[in-house]
Amino acid sequence: MQWGFRYFTEKHVLVLGTFFKDVLVSGGWEEANDLHDIVGWNDDDYTMAKDTPLDLISTILEGISRLNYQFRFRILELLKLKYRNAEINDGVNEELYSVVRSHLNCTDALVFMSASILKSCPATPVTETIGSLLTTGLVLSTIDSLHEYEWYLNESIEGKYIGSNQKDHIRPLFDATRYADTITFASEFFEKRLDQFRGRLGSLHPGHKLEEDDIILKLFLSPAPVSVTTVVRGLFLRQLVETNE
């Protein structure tokens, strides 16, 4: 799945999202009528519903997450091509918008699947692993410092989830000082991120103003979309993310 899509369309989102939901339902994990029925943690439950193909679920989530991450890398490479010369190449621009759309569609698919997990699965050691895969995929699709996570494209991610307390990772999402720093240095934050992004792109033609590019602004210099932050917050609140590895 990671290498099987050149572009990811809205139809892919619909088909894979529906298939994922059907896999949960076929295993007995239907959406709860009252979410209070699935709130809480069962430390003794290491199973999901009978006959649920957990390997298939993990493959789908890891495949789409890595595909999305590859699209994000491709966007960076195309931006380098776009702005290294005074004149903008129309072919590069066209390819760039196609890859951006694929990236956004992949993110929508992960959000859809996260919502399905949130509405269907109680928190157990097994569903926590699934939620961790989703959280990692969503976070790595929205952060700007991609060079720190190039291992994600090819290495196993088991035990290396964003939520876990790993020394070689960024601060956990639930670290309060992470957000306090953002508020404290709000006036400097945009310029700092813009400078970091310029450094990431390398040598560019000085005639271009990166801060006026909608793709750069929305994907690399702005907070994650509300849809992403909502489901990630939900996965943490529902105890569906590994946080104490």
Q: What is the pLDDT of residue 169?
A: 45
Taking the domains of the chain in order of start, what are their residue ranges? 10-237
**Which among 116, 105, 111, 172 has a CA at the least distance from the CA of 137?**
111
Q: How far apart are CA 10 and CA 106, in angstroms?
A: 9
Q: How far apart are CA 171 and CA 175, in angstroms?
A: 7
Cβ–Cβ under 8 Å, residues 60 and 1? yes
Does pTM top 0.85 for this prediction?
Answer: no
Q: What is the pLDDT of residue 209?
A: 78
**37-47 average pLDDT score:** 81
Q: Rounded to the nearest 10 degrees, what angle do helices 90-120 and 54-83 cross at?
A: 150
Q: What is the pLDDT of residue 82?
A: 85
Torsions phi, psi for 108 (to 5 deg): -60, -40
Which one-letter amino acid corresponds to residue 94?
E
pLDDT in tens, 135-177: 888 888 886 555 555 666 666 666 666 655 544 444 555 555 5
Q: What is the pLDDT of residue 109?
A: 95
- For all residues of the chain together, what is the average pLDDT? 79
Cβ–Cβ under 8 Å, residues 23 and 57? yes
Handedness of CA 224, 229, 231, 233 (dihedral sign): positive
HSE-CB for 222 with a 13 A CA cutoff: 14
